């Protein structure tokens, strides 16, 4: 339980992970939206469109929102506090 809590609460993603999450969000929502529209059109039923669209949105949410470890493959190394001030003098 502690590892799950640390993953959810203490999870970080880097800048490359943010770019990947943005790309995945766009692609997944477009793909699920197109599939939902096609199935709804072929079946002539709006409920198929709504359910597939909502399911795709939920799957996209699960793929993008948690800080999965593959979103933190390129972490930034930050300077220690006050370390940058000494170099300016």
- Count up the domains in the chain and report the number: 1
Residue 11 pLDDT > 90:
no
Segment 45-61 mean pLDDT = 98
Query: Does residue 82 lie in a domain region?
Result: no
Read off the pLDDT band of 46 (50, 70, 90): very high
Q: Which of 80, 32, 70 is nearest to 52 (CA)?
A: 32
Query: Does residue 31 lie in a domain region?
Result: yes
Does 56 or 12 have the greater pLDDT score?
56
Query: Does residue 88 lie in a domain region?
Result: no
Query: Does residue 87 lie in a domain region?
Result: no
Query: Does residue 6 lie in a domain region?
Result: yes
Where does 1-89 have alpha helices with state H?
A: 2-9, 15-43, 46-64, 83-88
Query: Does residue 45 lie in a domain region?
Result: yes
Does 13 or 20 have the greater pLDDT score?
20
Residue 81: how many CA atoms within 13 Å on its side-chain side?
0
User: pTM, whole model, 2 decimals?
Assistant: 0.77
Cα 60 from chain centre: 7
pLDDT (tens digit per residue) in 20-43: 999 999 999 999 999 999 999 999
What domain range is 29 assigned to?
2-73
């Amino acid at each position: 339980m502690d590892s799950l809590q640390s993953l959810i609460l203490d999870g970080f993603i880097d800048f490359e992970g943010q770019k990947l999450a943005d790309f995945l969000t766009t692609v997944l929502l477009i793909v699920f939206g197109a599939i939902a529209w096609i199935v709804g059109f072929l079946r002539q039923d709006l409920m198929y469109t709504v359910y597939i669209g909502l399911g795709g949105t939920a799957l996209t949410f699960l793929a993008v929102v948690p800080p999965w470890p593959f979103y933190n493959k390129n972490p930034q190394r930050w300077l220690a506090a006050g370390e940058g001030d000494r170099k300016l003098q």
